[in-house]
């Protein structure tokens, strides 16, 4: 009887030790919940996304390192404490500060009397000529000037036509550069993509069916498009790693 009881207790302790534990939490910034934040467990290489309420759930245990990554915010790493395994983890992200480049004024007062007098005290004849040219250009032309001469061929008027298709403002190379610059190399290295393979991986994701017609047409990639790309990455990362693990 004692042997049987000892066996049952040992089995319960074993199952408890092997049970999968999860870390729950909520991600905010400036008092607002953040959606689509990449939450990565460095030990297990597991990756999940926070929902629209900022909540996430990922398998882990005390001592694990969680990394939080989202474009437009500073990356954050947190060690999981014993308390974090028993109550929700509160995570606060800080927006990335965007520096506005300085505007260079090409022409202004230089302090050199000779140069400044030339720029700001133009001869009256030059000012008068410029005024006359502007007035002449603003006047309507006499239709008889542009009328066809006798015997000349006149192109018939119509609705017009376009030869070929309208060229997109971007191509895939432009989009790849924008994605890489916006998300940063660390985003891809956190996904275990080596730096020399980042461009190849982005190309692989785009070739997998990522919808981008409007992005290429207008040459504009919104934050929503970046979030959509990050979600699409999760569907392609496993198949991309598969050939590498088989080597």
In a domain, 74, yes or no: yes
In a domain, 120, yes or no: no
The string of pLDDT tens digits covering residues 182-214 is 999 999 999 999 999 999 999 999 999 999 999
In a domain, 106, yes or no: no
User: What pLDDT, on a 0 to 100 scale, did the predictor assign at position 115?
Assistant: 65
Q: In 3D, which of 52, 51, 85, 53 has the Cα closest to residue 66?
A: 85
In a domain, 145, yes or no: no
In a domain, 197, yes or no: yes
Question: Which distant-in-sequence residues (6+ apart) come within 8 Å of 77 by Cβ?
Answer: 65, 66, 67, 68
Query: Pick from 92, 120, 152: which residue ends a domain?
Result: 92
Question: Which range of residues forms the domain containing residue 209?
Answer: 172-236
Q: Which residue has the higher pLDDT, 179 or 150?
A: 179
Which of 35-39, 124-128, 197-201 is least confident? 124-128
Q: Which residue has the higher pLDDT, 242 or 136?
A: 242
Contact 210, 227 (CB under 8 A): no
Total domains in the fold of the chain: 2
User: What pLDDT, on a 0 to 100 scale, did the predictor assign at position 106?
Assistant: 58
The label of the residue with tokens 């910034």 reads 29
What percent of the chain lies above the pLDDT cut of 70? Answer: 65
Return phi, psi of residue 122, to 5°: -70, 150
In a domain, 199, yes or no: yes
The string of pLDDT tens digits covering residues 12-26 is 444 454 446 899 999
Query: Pick from 92, 126, 148: which residue ends a domain?
Result: 92
In a domain, 111, yes or no: no
Q: Which residue has the higher pLDDT, 241 or 93?
A: 93
In a domain, 135, yes or no: no
Output the six-digit token pair for 83: 């308390």
CATH code (residue 62):
2.60.40.10
Q: In 3D, which of 164, 172, 163 has the Cα closest to residue 217?
A: 172
Model-level pTM greater than 0.75? no
Query: Pick from 65, 92, 119: which residue ends a domain?
Result: 92
User: What pLDDT, on a 0 to 100 scale, did the predictor assign at position 5?
Assistant: 44
The string of pLDDT tens digits covering residues 171-181 is 999 999 999 99
What percent of the chain lies above the pLDDT cut of 90? Answer: 55
3-state secondary structure the chain: CHHHHHHHHHHHHHHHHHCCCEEEEEEEECCEECCCCEEEECCCCEEEECCCCCEEEEECCCCCEEEEECCCECCEEEECCCHHHCCCEEEECCECCCCCCCCCCCCCCCCCHHHHHHHHCCCHHHHHHHHHHHHHHHCCCCHHHHCCCCCCCCCCCCCCCCCCCCCCCCCHHHHHHHHHHHHCHHHHHHCCCCHHHHHHHHHHHHHCCCCCHHHHHHCCCCHHHHHHHHHHHHHHHHHHHHHHHHC
33: burial class by Cβ within 10 Å (0-12, 13-18, 19+)? middle
């Amino acid at each position: 009887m004692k042997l049987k009881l000892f066996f049952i207790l040992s089995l319960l302790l074993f199952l408890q030790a092997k049970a999968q534990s999860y870390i729950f939490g909520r991600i905010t910034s400036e008092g607002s919940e953040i959606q689509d934040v990449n939450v990565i467990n460095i030990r297990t290489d597991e990756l999940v996304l926070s929902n629209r309420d900022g909540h996430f759930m990922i398998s882990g245990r005390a001592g694990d390192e969680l990394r939080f990554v989202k474009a437009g915010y500073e990356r954050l790493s947190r060690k999981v404490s014993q308390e974090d395994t028993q109550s929700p983890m509160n995570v606060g992200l800080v927006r990335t500060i965007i520096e506005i480049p300085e505007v260079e004024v090409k022409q202004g007062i230089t302090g050199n009397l000779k140069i400044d007098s030339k720029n700001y005290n133009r001869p009256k004849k030059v000012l008068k000529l410029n005024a006359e040219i502007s007035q002449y250009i603003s006047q309507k032309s006499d239709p008889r000037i542009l009328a066809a001469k006798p015997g000349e061929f006149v192109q018939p008027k119509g609705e017009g036509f376009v030869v070929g298709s309208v060229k997109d403002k971007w191509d895939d190379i432009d989009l790849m550069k924008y994605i890489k610059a916006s998300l940063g190399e660390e985003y891809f290295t956190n996904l275990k993509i080596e730096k020399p393979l980042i461009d190849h991986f982005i190309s692989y994701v785009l070739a997998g069916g990522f919808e981008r017609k409007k992005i290429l047409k207008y040459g504009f990639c919104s934050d929503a498009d970046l979030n959509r790309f990050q979600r699409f990455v999760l569907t392609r990362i496993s198949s991309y790693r598969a050939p590498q693990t088989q080597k």
